[in-house]
Structure 1
Amino acid sequence: MNQPRFIRKAITAATTAVLSLGLLAGTGTSAEAQGRSLRATADHLMNLNAADFVRQPHVAPFDWGNNGCNAMPGPQARRFHIACVQHDFGYRNYGGRSHLKLGPDEETRRWIDERFWHEMRRICIDQHASSGWCLTEAATSYRVVRAAGRYLY
């Protein structure tokens, strides 16, 4: 997605405003309301395309740590890096092992994994003209995450 720089800046500014409002909306309210606000903000971030996601400000209380695509071979890890970073955000903030536990259930894990699959496919389409080898790598990575992710989520 090659948007002009001024559009990317506007998207980032708007997202920062949404994040700030979403996080402030929960201030001084019940823990349940704060949880809903955090979940809405996290959902917004997860629904961005991976290229826009990686440009977002790293606001608290989210865990922005990632290990990239450490289980993938080198070239594949570099190719899908931004999709892996977004996927890591999902597991680190929604999962049962996270401090926020925004969605520690199988339905949410499936959604996070499907976002990963979708973003890897977008990379293949945008950067590799939908080449079969790239789509095969994406499909294989998705299947591995679906099978092994239950132990990490």
Structure 2
Amino acid sequence: MQTMRYVAALCFALLITCNTSYPLHTSVTSRQDDLKDLTDELLYDASMMDFQARRWAKLPPELNWESNGCTDSPDELLEWDFLMSCERHDFGYRNYKEQGRFTDENRKRVDDNFLEDLYSECSVYGTVSELLCKGVADVYYHSVRAFGD
């Protein structure tokens, strides 16, 4: 299942790469505002596949696409794959910090979105597995709330 997700995201990345153009004349301030808006869109509005496609294509290149996965927690646990959720969470932290927007309020918003992404991953499993998965997702969430920076 994970391989299929990555193949789908790669296809999206190719489409985005072929259909993305950058304005030739933009002010620095305007471009910074555009990057903040795009960061928010990719974090909160884009599907996980759309986010991953952008991440793999590193578009736009001015955003920080680096990730260390789920840090000290497993990226995959039993049948649950939390890697993509962790990658988007890292994207939020890194870009909000670089954009000077990493306030307590925004950190909570990025963390809450992380929990939604984890729950979304859990929703593809059967009822019992989904409940167990959400329990593990809660542990991941509370860990980033307690130790994330």
Aligned to 2:71: 70
| Count of residue pairs the alignment pairs up | 139
- Once the two structures are TM-superposed, the CA of residue 28 in structure 1 deviates from its matched residue by 3.7
Aligned to 1:38: 35
- Once the two structures are TM-superposed, the CA of residue 103 in structure 1 deviates from its matched residue by 2.0
Distance in 1 between residues matched to 2:108 and 2:76, nearest whole Å: 26
**For the Cα contact (< 8 Å) 1:35–1:102, is it kept in 2?**
no
Unaligned runs of 5+ in 1: none
CA displacement 1:23-44 (0-9 Å, x = unmatched): x35x544332121111112122
Q: Secondary structure of the residue that 1:122 maps to in structure 2?
A: helix
**For the Cα contact (< 8 Å) 1:62–1:93, is it kept in 2?**
yes
Calculate the TM-score normalised by the size of structure 1: 0.72
**For the Cα contact (< 8 Å) 2:85–2:118, is it kept in 1?**
yes
**For the Cα contact (< 8 Å) 2:69–2:75, is it kept in 1?**
no
What CA RMSD, in Å, does the superposition of the two structures yield over aligned residues?
3.2
Give runs of aligned pairs for residues 69-108 of structure 1, distance below 5 A.
69-73=70-74, 75-76=76-77, 79-95=81-97, 98=98, 101=99, 103-108=101-106
Calculate the TM-score normalised by the size of structure 2: 0.74
Distance in 2 between residues matched to 1:86 and 1:61, nearest whole Å: 16
Structure 1 residues 103 and 52: CA distance shift in structure 2, 3 A: same
CA displacement 1:73-122 (0-9 Å, x = unmatched): 46439620110011111111112xx3xx2522222212211111001000
Structure 1 residues 34 and 148: CA distance shift in structure 2, 3 A: same
**For the Cα contact (< 8 Å) 1:39–1:102, is it kept in 2?**
no
Distance in 1 between residues matched to 2:122 and 2:15, nearest whole Å: 28
Unaligned runs of 5+ in 2: none
Q: Which is bigger in relative contact order (C-alpha 8 A, separation at least 6)?
A: 2
Aligned to 2:109: 111
Q: Secondary structure of the residue that 1:145 maps to in structure 2?
A: helix
Aligned to 2:50: 52
**For the Cα contact (< 8 Å) 2:69–2:87, is it kept in 1?**
yes
